[in-house]
Structure 1
Amino acid sequence: MDRLFALIASVLLAFGPAGPGQAQETGAPISAILTIDSERLFTDSQFGQRVAREIAAEQSVLRAENRQMEAKLAEEEKVLTEKRKEMTAADFRAVADAFDRRVEEIRDFQDNKAREIALRQEREEAQFVQAARPVLAELMREARASVILEQRTILLSDNAIDVTQEAIGRLDAAIGDGSGLQRE
């Protein structure tokens, strides 16, 4: 999520400072500084919830595959161990080495699948940030803010300058779950 915050931080735009207050036509406060919880912005949005569901489903499939392969390989190992009694040491070593190579290949293949899932998560977060930029920039303009800060990096602030919920609502209205966005 720190990467997500870093990407969102790039949205910061410079506008003149404003006095405290509430914008009449919007839910955005009038303030030179706004705060946002970037993790909640993603996870509570329709977009983030869709991504979480899809990633969880992919991980579930991968875990099921891994369990199946583990069971199959354990059975093969058991059979191989029983055959050892009937084989010469050299023959057994050759068969065992081939089995070990196959296990490593399977492990590498499954690890690559896990890395692809993680990369997909990163790509989705980057896509979200691209889609969020104009929405966050509009919130800044309406609030006449100079900066949006990550809420978790601030020791103490007035909750009135937190625009997370407002941003989530606007993002949901603007992009929904993001499934209709053009992928990069």
Structure 2
Amino acid sequence: MRRFARVFLTLLATALAGSFVVAQEQPAPTPAPAQRSAVQTPILTIDTERLFSQSAFGLRVAREIEERGAALSAENRSIEAELGAEEQELTEKRSAMEPGAFRVLADAFDQKVQDTRRAQEAKGRELSQLLEKEQIAFLNTAAPILESLMRDSGAGVILERRSVFLSANAIDITDAAIARINTALGDGAN
């Protein structure tokens, strides 16, 4: 998840860079007090892991990943049982076969096991990559919402909460960000 935080900060910084260039060219209008949040501070903090994991979007992704992971585990158990039965059958044939012929079957079985293992590991990696892809999509979509929250708070920067040594809880916008993102994105399902 630390990588998620780094990716988040990079994407947010990229998204916000354009805003600051525009802001330098022409002064931004000061929002009316009713548009601002209660805290007026130049620095805000956010817990990006919690932002994703507790948002409707992140909860949907977690459910989907869990379902796919459970299906992959069930598939792995089924394959393991099939390979175990095939190995037992091969072992039983061993005494009735010529050593050379048995070696050919045993090598073919070993190759099948290795190929199957690689295929199943690739499926596991795809699942991890799906999570990463969804996190990046979430951050790309959430960046303008977070930028708006930052502007409404009169802040100039949002820092990762775990990177801050000490801060007042009042500058943490994670809950407010989750609420705004849930309102704007829902669970992000198409």
In the superposition, the TM-score normalised over structure 2's length comes to 0.86
For the pair 1:168 / 2:172, whether they are aligned, the reply is no
Q: Larger helix proportion, structure 1 or 2? A: 2
- 2:108 aligned with 1:98: yes
- Structure 1 counterpart of 2:142, from 132, 139, 144: 132
For residue 19 of structure 1, what is the aligned residue in structure 2? none
Aligned residue pairs total: 174
Partner residue of 2:127 out of 112, 117, 120? 117
The one-letter code of the counterpart of 1:107 is: R
Displacement of 1:62: 0.4
Deviations 1:19-68 (A, max 9, x none): xxxx6545462111100000000000000000000000001000000001
Could you tell me which runs of 5 or more consecutive residues in structure 1 were left unpaired when the two chains were aligned: 17-22
Residue in structure 2 matching 1:42, options 52, 75, 78 = 52
Deviations 1:154-176 (A, max 9, x none): 12110000000000000000000
- How far does residue 178 in structure 1 lie from its aligned partner after superposition? 0.6
SS in 2 for 1:87: coil
User: How far apart, CA to CA, are the structure 2 residues paired with 1:4 and 1:175?
Assistant: 19
**Contact 1:45-1:171 at 8 Å conserved across structures:** yes
* Structure 1 Cα separation of the partners of residues 8 and 70 of structure 2: 29
Contact kept in structure 1, 2:55 and 2:182, CA below 8 Å? yes
State the alpha-carbon separation in 2 of the partners of residues 114 and 28 from structure 1.
45
| Residue 4 (1) aligns with residue 15 (2) | no
Question: Which residue, 58, 67, 83 being the options, matches 2:93?
Answer: 83
Of 83, 90, 113 in structure 2, the residue corresponding to residue 73 of structure 1 is: 83
Which of the residues 119, 141, 160 maps onto 2:151? 141
Does the CA-based 8 Å contact 1:132-1:171 persist in structure 2?
yes
Are 2:61 and 2:134, in contact at CA under 8 Å, matched by a contact in 1?
yes
CA contact (8 A) 2:53 2:59 kept: yes
- Structure 1 residue 9: Cα displacement: 1.5
Contact 2:46–2:158 (Cα < 8 Å) also in 1: yes
CA contact 2:42–2:157 (8 Å) conserved in 1: yes
Question: Match of 1:20?
Answer: none
8 A contact 1:36–1:162 mirrored in 2: yes
- Does structure 1 conserve the Cα–Cα contact (< 8 Å) formed by 2:41 and 2:155? yes
Quick one: percent identity of the two aligned structures?
46
Deviates more, 1:4-13 or 1:127-136: 4-13
**Mean CA deviation greater in 167-176 or 144-153:** 144-153
Q: CA RMSD in A?
A: 1.7
Name the aligned partner's letter for residue 3 of structure 1: R
Instruction: Please report how far the alpha carbon of residue 3 of structure 1 lies from its aligned counterpart in structure 2 after TM superposition.
Output: 2.6
| Amino acid in the other structure paired with 1:98 | A
In structure 1, the residue corresponding to 2:95 is in which secondary structure?
A: helix
Contiguous gaps of at least 5 residues in structure 2? 25-32
What SS does the corresponding residue of 2:187 show, helix, strand or coil? coil
